[in-house]
Amino acid sequence: MIARRILVFLALAALAAGAWLLGDRLLVDRTPIVVGILHSETGPMAVSERPMIESEILALEEVNAAGGLLGRPVRWVVADGASDWPTFARQAERLVRDEGACVVFGCWTSASRKNVLPVFEKLDHLLVYPMAYEGMEQSPNVVYVGASANQQVVPAVQWCHEQLKARRFFLVGSNYIWPRCVNAIARDQVLGLGGEVLEEAYLAFGSTDVDEIVRLIADKKPDVVLSSVVGDSAIAFARGMRAAGLDPSTVPTVTFAVGENELQAMQPGDMAGDFAAWSYFQSIGGPRNRDFVDAFRARFGANRSVADVNASAWMGVQMWAQAVREAGTTDVRQVRSAMRRQSMDAPEGVVAIDPESQHAWRTACIGRIRTDRQVDVVWTTGIPIRPVPFPATRTRAAWESFVDELQRGWGGRWTGPTADDVAAAQRKAATP
């Protein structure tokens, strides 16, 4: 009799457990949360953007290792923007419409961001943009995690004036929207400090033909070069400067686009002694940064370096995950709202999203590049600076007009003639 009761009890318990499991499966959504990663895996920007992909994957793996979000795992889809702006726009739409991504982490260049922005605004979606940039933009569909110009360019110009005693500046960049805007900001500030801009020169995007600009720098003999040359072009420019005998003892360079990742693609002496302006360097101390560096190296290689773009990309994912937990949903509008309230103890220190502008409060740092291709911090604000997307030297309307005029001058694009455009024109001219 007792045995029969035990069997009945066990059967009822099994039925209850089965019913609970069935109810759990029916009532609780455990399908993966899909997110998009959109960067250049190929083309001249791949050297800079591949590390961002790795850092975003690292952050998402950490989210899953901690149990996922809302009881669900996160799955990511990586799309290649191929260093081509129309491709970025097509891939952004595919990630949202076809893959069902509830957020996209992506872009490096401002030209790629400008091309995907209409997609996110049309679909009322969310882009988390991890790159330091020029500002002059504010969209409810973008959370800007990278430094604004007042957290990177403006402190660097002031530092050059005070510490390098620079009065004669040479501005060089790749020929697209970000360097053009960066140099306009720098020019305003240099003139406001009583300095002189000797020249403003540009390389076609993707070009490695740096000889003419290097000769111009040698002729002008500036006190400092401010460089917003990007990707493979930045590597060629650094080598061209050294080949011409231009080093920090004669003409120091301050770069806004070269970090530890790009330095690994250079020879040890290509930029040793020059300077870089970012919010983060691998050499920053503290246990939080050591944990971040160790985690990245454990996942992607013991000899790998990390840079500002790694930290920013990783932070963007982590703060989005915090916003999802706070909102209790992946609904885009609710997560966007929650993103405005996020802050975290990041590798560089405290980083927070400004609720008014959706830009991040970031620390400003200047570093001197070493022969081992790491960077020593020589100056820092020590605390995060409030983001100012539209610099105070001009009105917001004036900056927006400046940006619009650049786009119109480039025939509706966000870049001047690229290296591929120049090569195609040369081939056409040579055809009988």
Structural domains counted in the chain:
2
Pair 219, 330 in one domain: no
Q: What is the pLDDT of residues 153-185, one digit of tens each?
A: 999 999 999 999 999 999 999 999 999 999 999
Q: Which residue has the tokens 């950490």?
A: 62
277, 156 in Cβ contact below 8 A?
yes
Shared domain for 338 and 218, answered yes or no, is no
pTM across the whole model: 0.90
Could you tell me which residues are beta bridge partners of residue 359? 144
- Report, as ranges of residue numbers, the positions in the chain whose pLDDT lies below 70: 1-29, 428
Domain shared by 272 and 326, yes or no: no
Tens of pLDDT, residue by residue over 230-276, are 999 999 999 999 999 999 999 999 999 999 999 999 999 999 999 99
pLDDT of residue 21: 43
Name the residue range of residue 64's domain.
33-147+287-361
- Do 254 and 391 share a domain, yes or no? yes
207 in a structural domain: yes
**Tokens 């318990």 identify what position?**
13
- The closest alpha carbon to 183, from 191, 261, 271, belongs to 191
Sign (positive or negative) of CA dihedral 333, 335, 341, 346: negative
Q: Spell out where 349-420 has E strands.
A: 349-353, 360-361, 365-369, 375-380
Same domain, 208 and 321: no
Q: List the one residue out of 326, 115, 336, 159 whose CA is nearest residue 256.
A: 159
Is 353 part of any domain?
yes
Per-residue pLDDT tens for 97-125?
Answer: 999 999 999 999 999 999 999 999 999 99
Q: Are residues 56 and 108 in the same domain?
A: yes
Instruction: Please indicate, yes or no, if residue 306 is contained in any of the structural domains.
Output: yes
Structure tokens belonging to residue 117: 């922005």
Do 351 and 401 sit in the same domain of this protein? no
Q: What would the two tokens of residue 281 be? A: 């360097």
Distance from first CA to last CA of the chain, Å, rounded? 104
Buried b / exposed e along 141-156 (16+ C-beta atoms within 10 A): bbbbbbbbbbbbbbbb
Rounded to the nearest 10 degrees, the angle between the axes of helix 46-65 and helix 231-243 is 130
**CATH assignment of the domain containing 158:** 3.40.50.2300
Cα angle 388-177-377, degrees, rounded to a multiple of 5: 55
Do 176 and 142 lie in one domain? The reply is no
**44 plus 129 within the same structural domain:** yes
Residue 112 pairs in a beta bridge with none
- Examine residue 339 and state whether it is found in any structural domain, yes or no: yes
124 in any annotated domain: yes
Compute the distance between CA of residue 317 and CA of residue 326 in angstroms, rounded to an integer.
14
Name the residue among 307, 337, 309, 308 with its Cα closest to residue 322.
Answer: 337
Q: Check whether residue 215 and residue 353 sit in a common domain.
A: no
Same domain, 98 and 45: yes
Q: Judge if 169 and 55 occupy the same domain.
A: no
Residue 418 included in any domain? no
Q: What is the mean pLDDT of the chain?
A: 93
In a domain, 400, yes or no: yes
d(CA 187, CA 183) in angstroms, rounded, equals: 6
Instruction: Answer yes or no: is 420 within a domain.
Output: no
Give the SS3 label for residue 179.
helix
Strand order in the sheet with 360-361: 343-346, 349-353, 360-361
